[in-house]
Amino acid sequence: MNIQEIEGEIILEFASFEDWLDKYNHIIESARNIPRIEPKYKEEKFLIQGCQSQVWLRADLEDGKVIFTADSDALITRGIIALLIRVLSNQPPQDIIDAKLEFIEKTGLHQHLSPTRSNGLASMVKQMKLYAIAFKAQTEAQ
């Protein structure tokens, strides 16, 4: 599936919840399925700045696609980054760079998790795009 298709899937999932508590429950569930970063990479270099909790994010390029792994010590944060990974991982760098990530708004997540909440949602997206930009530059240079 491409980015838009996965986003559509997530939007549908969230639409089925009426109560905000259920939405959080879904985020927490997502946290359990996160492709975990290897413990040895849980170091300063992979920490994302700007979050109240710690978030580690790593990216590798495999067969022209970016593979993200991550973790966080807070469950909600881990759930959010897990959702972002579900959308953006295993995609070509250019698609990640172009991704509009409309699901954040359409699921109502932005309203629960505005950037001022210092959950670092914006920092995570930015870091993922930066990885994609770097991989693109790397491939083009070869």
Partner 1 sequence: MSINVEQLRREFPVLSQTVNGKPLVYLDNAATTQKPKAVVERLMDYYYKENSNIHRGAHYLSMQATEAYEEARETTRMYLNAAFSREIIFTRGTTESINLVASSFSQKFLKEGDEILISAMEHHSNIVPWQMACQQKGATLKVIPMDEQGVLRMDTLDELLTEKTRLVAVSHVSNALGTINPVEDIIGKAHQKGIPVLIDGAQAVPHMKVDVQKLDCDFYCFSGHKLYGPMGVGVLYGKEEWLEQMPPYQGGGEMIKEVRFTGTTYNELPFKFEAGTPNVGDVLGLEAALRFVSYLRHDVISVYEDSLMQYAMKQLATLPGIRFIGTAEHKTSVISFLFDDIHPYDSGVILDKLGIAVRTGHHCAQPVMDFFNIPGTIRVSFAMYNSLKEIDLLMDALKKVRTLFS
Contacts with partner 1, residue ranges (CB under 8 A): 20-21, 24-25, 28, 52-54, 73-77, 112, 117, 119
Point out the catalytic residue in the list 10, 51, 70, 109: 51
Distance CA 97, CA 128 (A): 9
- Are residues 51 and 77 in contact, defined by beta-carbon separation less than 8 angstroms? yes
Contact between residue 51 and residue 118 where contact means Cβ atoms under 8 Å apart: yes
Nearer to partner 1, 16 or 116 (CB): 116
Cβ proximity to partner 1: between 53 and 94 the closer is 53
Q: Which is nearer to partner 1, 19 or 140 (CB)?
A: 19
Report the 10 Å Cβ neighbour count for 13. Answer: 16
Residues with a known catalytic role: 51
